[in-house]
A and B are shown apart, each in its own frame.
Chain A
Amino acid sequence: MVTKIKSSFRDPSGFLFQEKGVLYRNIDKSYRKNYNKMLSSGILEEFWKNNLLVKHKEVGIKKQNSSTFKTISPEIVPFISYPYEWCFSQLKDAALLTLKMQRMALSFEMTLKDASAFNIQFKNGKPIFIDTLSFEVYENGSPWIAYKQFCQHFLAPLTLMCYQDLRLNQLLKTFIDGIPLDLASSLLPKKSYLKFSLLTHIHLHAKTQKHYADKPTKSRIARTVKMSKNAHLALISSLENAVKTLKPAKIKTEWGNYYKKTNYSDNSFLQKRNVIKKFLEKSGKPRNVWDLGSNTGSFSRIASNMGISTVSFDIDPIAVEKNYLLTKKQRESDILPLVLDLTNPSPSIGWAHEERISLQKRANSDLIMALALIHHLSISNNLPFENVAEYFSKLAKNLIIEFVPKSDSNVKRLLSTREDVFPKYNERYFEKAFSKYYKIKDKTKLKDSERTLYLMTKL
């Protein structure tokens, strides 16, 4: 069965589709000149050599129509993530990769025709460009068509995350083609005007957009105005400097220091690690694991160190930032830290709700880990155990879950400021509710703790 990937409708150069689990990209005849230039100039080889662009192989033409030039089969990325699920440094690295590729493209007399953050994915711990058809032949004197898109997709959210709040990349969920610059400009503090790169690329840029919003002057200017390559390169350098100097806003978050103030003893921490490892082995060593509420990924790394492709989700952008920086430092390839509010997971968005797909539709893991999470869902968010069990069972076949009883100090803290309206929050009801969807395969009580770890498999 052939399934067309709905997000690839914007660019007429080609489209993506899947057949029997294999990903294909049809290249349109209108892109022939550009594709041939990619091959003849050596740019494709250079990108591949440096692991900057996903590799592909040419295959026999599929789904042929009168305008099909070629069919290629690109490598699959283990998990598709979106910029509103990235931490600050992930978005920053994606921005710098985009600029690096534009600089390289110019040296091969080519240019990037778009600068969408959705063209970047994370593979083997590093950002990688996934849209092979984004490069076109550079025409001498042409400006960077994707300049506005770069500012909206990268510079605006990064600047807001730096100057205001790390959570502001969530605006990309609402504004699918990047944060409008007038909005970014109005949300930024006045001190951002003092920085030349932000004064120009955000504030004056937004004001110029507003000034020309109702003036149809572009076609005349496009016909008459050139931009030298040196000016083009200077623009890229200026954007690079602007991005490089941005640092994440320092906000005190709830979970950033979790492991420093936890009530675990060293013994029970070590035992927990050993039990999780045993459960992972017992579940048949899954190919993909999702760790929900992973904090800085301490337990995710048990799976990733076993060579299991692991997505390490947490609601706290600081924890995810720490996790990602550790991933980079240790050059880990099997772990992908992402920001996720599980009580409001990423929805399907864009045209016909099909451009960027929901978390549930992207579920590809064999096992979910939900460690020290149930009290946050059931007490802080009032979710009955049945609802949690039902949703988890839709995401993966196997589950490693930790039950945290009311006697635990962390649960006591959650209940200290509110009325306890959870008479059924106990181990017996927990097991009963989860048994509707799962078979409990194993159960281990943690020493020096009130907590219990379960291994379950879907009925």
Chain B
Amino acid sequence: MQSFYIVLIGLFTLFSADSAQAYLDPGTGSFIFQLAIGAILGGIVALKLRFKQVKNFGLSLFKGKKVESKENLKKS
């Protein structure tokens, strides 16, 4: 659990600035936890997106080669 809080504190240094105004008390623990889990979940989404882009790029290269090889076969 200690390492989890170290990660939380570390995450604060990645961000900067604005105050939240609301009539509802978001709760200190909930507020901090949300920032951490939001960053993690946001990171996962970004990674998935990047992985998809890389995958699509790879597939397009592969498809390109496939088409090329078929054309070569036809020519020969």
Residues of A within 8 A of B (CB): 10-13, 113-114, 136, 139-149, 151, 200-201, 204-205, 207-213, 215-218, 221-228, 230-235, 237-238
Q: Are A141 and B42 in contact (CB under 8 A)?
A: no
| Minimum C-beta distance from A450 to chain B (A) | 57
Q: Determine if A222 and B34 form an interchain contact, defined as CB atoms under 8 angstroms apart.
A: no
Q: Are B31 and A143 in contact (CB under 8 A)?
A: yes
Contact residues in B for A232 (Cβ distance below 8 Å)? 38, 42
Q: Which of A149, A204, A212 contacts B4 (CB 8 A)?
A: A204
Q: Is the CB of A147 within 8 A of B15?
A: no
Which positions 45-75 of chain B face chain A at CB distance < 8 Å? 45-46
User: Which among A140, A142, A213, A224 is the interface contact of B29 at CB below 8 angstroms?
Assistant: A213
Contact B5 A211 (CB under 8 A): yes
A-B contact pairs, 10 of them (CB 8 A): A141-B17, A145-B22, A205-B29, A209-B33, A224-B17, A228-B38, A231-B39, A231-B42, A233-B45, A235-B41
The verdict on B3 contacting chain A, using a C-beta distance below 8 Å, is: no
Contact B29 A221 (CB under 8 A): no
How far is B25's CA from A216's CA once the two chains are assembled, in angstroms? 13
**Which residues of the partner chain B approach A205 to less than 8 Å between Cβ atoms?**
29-30, 33, 37
For B35, the chain A residues whose CB sits under 8 A away are 143, 221, 225, 227
Q: B17 touching A208 by the CB < 8 A rule?
A: no
Contact B32 A227 (CB under 8 A): no
Task: Give the contacting residue for A231; candidates B22, B23, B38; CB below 8 A.
Answer: B38
Q: Which residues of B contact A145 (CB under 8 A)?
A: 20, 22, 24, 26
- The answer to whether B18 touches A142 (Cβ under 8 A) is yes
Across the interface, which residues of A come within 8 angstroms of B32, CB to CB? Answer: 208, 212, 217-218, 221
Which of A143, A217, A223, A233 contacts B26, CB < 8 Å? A143
* Cα separation A306 to B30 with both chains bound (whole Å): 49
Interface residue from B12, B31, B41 paired with A238 (Cβ < 8 Å):
B41
**A113-B23, A140-B18 are known contacts. Are A221 and B42 too (CB-CB below 8 A)?**
no
B19 at the interface (CB under 8 A from A): yes
Report yes or no: B24 in contact with A149, Cβ–Cβ below 8 A: yes
State whether A210 touches B29 (Cβ < 8 A).
yes
- Could you say which of A200, A217, A224, A234 contacts B28, with CB atoms under 8 Å apart? A217
User: What residues of chain B lie closer than 8 Å to A114, measured between beta carbons?
Assistant: 23-24
Q: Are A218 and B16 in contact (CB under 8 A)?
A: no
Q: When chains A and B are docked, how far (Å) is the Cα of A146 from the Cα of B24?
A: 7
Verify if B6 is at the interface (C-beta below 8 Å from A): no
Asked if B24 contacts A234 (CB within 8 A), the reply is no
For residue B3, give the distance in angstroms from its CB to the closest CB of chain A. 12
Q: CA A148 – CA B30 in complex, angstroms? A: 6
Residues of B within 8 A of A228 (CB): 38, 42
Collect the chain A residues with CB atoms within 8 Å of residue B29's CB: 205, 208-213
